[in-house]
Amino acid sequence: MSPIDPFAATADFEHALRSDIPLARAMQLRVHDYDGDRLGLTAPLAPNINDKGCAFGGSLVSLLTLAGWGLIVLKLRALGRDCDVYVQDSQVRYLAPVWTDFVAHAHLAEGETWESFIAMLDTRGRARLQVACRVTLEAGDDACTLQARFVAIART
């Protein structure tokens, strides 16, 4: 397994998202940061407003869900596993309106590890993983949180 350049991997990921998902393009989604354990996606406010002029709930959930999905997709690629990744369910809490450009960060939920996820995937050909995602206000408080369960299925 050859080492993967994280910058090139996230640039490819961003390009693919915007090419393959028209709504990601309409949202003007970009990768904000990635360190292997945390992925941040960002979007400007203007194309993502609602009728009140703050961030549309559908844009928040889309960015949060894509951050969780991307966290798993990028890790599987870095580890050389060829999988499809699907979201299965999620719980969303809208806590405060967002009046600025925003970033959705995703990391593994408490109690989850990459090691157990990959071990299950290699044994069974499929594995589930819970991811915690949030958009925070500039002061650091949560504006919107999403906890989602994904499944990865090895391509045969």
Rule CB under 8 A: which residues touch its own copies?
A: 16-17, 20-24, 26-27, 46-52, 56-59, 61-63, 65-66, 84, 86-94
The residue (of 66 and 121) whose beta carbon lies closer to its own copies is 66
Residue 137 corresponds to which tokens in the numbers above? Answer: 């206000």
DSSP line for 31-70:
EEEE-SS-EEEEE-SGGGB-TTSSB-HHHHHHHHHHHHHH
For residue 23, what are the contacts with CB-CB under 8 A and spacing of at least 6? 62
Asked if residue 42 lies in contact with residue 115, where contact means CB atoms within 8 angstroms, the answer is no
- Closer CB to its own copies, 91 or 156, in the complex: 91
What Cα–Cα distance (Å) separates residue 41 from each residue in 45, 47, 65, 126, 153?
A: 13, 15, 10, 26, 24
To the nearest whole angstrom, how small is the minimum distance from the Cβ of residue 115 to its own copies? Answer: 26
Work out how close the CB of 91 gets to its own copies at its nearest, in angstroms, rounded to a whole number: 5
Q: Is the CB of 57 or the CB of 137 nearer to its own copies?
A: 57
Residue with tokens 């979007």: 43
Give the nearest distance from C-beta 54 to its own copies in angstroms. 10
> Closer to its own copies at the Cβ: 63 or 76?
63
Q: In the complex, what is the shortest distance from the CB of residue 126 to its own copies, in angstroms, rounded to a whole number?
A: 16
